[in-house]
Structure 1
Amino acid sequence: MKTFVKAFALSCALTASAAQAGSLSDPVIEQDIIIAEATSSSSGTALVALLAVVLAIPQL
């Protein structure tokens, strides 16, 4: 009976304490560097012109 009481007291003492993993300070997070290659806008202009021509064909 004494061992049961001791085991119960030990388990209560271990579970009743505050569990912390690490410190209370804010974590330092490094941001990833994202490099985007610049593209020319000439293909966009051709696409707009082609779309305008396709939309104008039913009007003729």
Structure 2
Amino acid sequence: MKKLALAAALSVAASTAFAGGLTEPVMEEEVVKAGASSSAGGVVVPLLLLLVVAAAAAN
């Protein structure tokens, strides 16, 4: 009876140990944040400054 219980315990332990099998680990892709670049950002400020100077000169 002890041998039967030991065999049953070993078969349960062996079946759960190899249930998943060997698979390749799944790596998540690295998230890369894209930087927003705009050439209009450097042009807007001088144009606004020129507009303010022109408005002040017109008065």
Structures share a fold, TM > 0.5? no
Look at both structures and tell me which one has the larger radius of gyration over its CA atoms: 2
**TM-score normalised by the shorter chain: which range applies?**
0.3 to 0.5
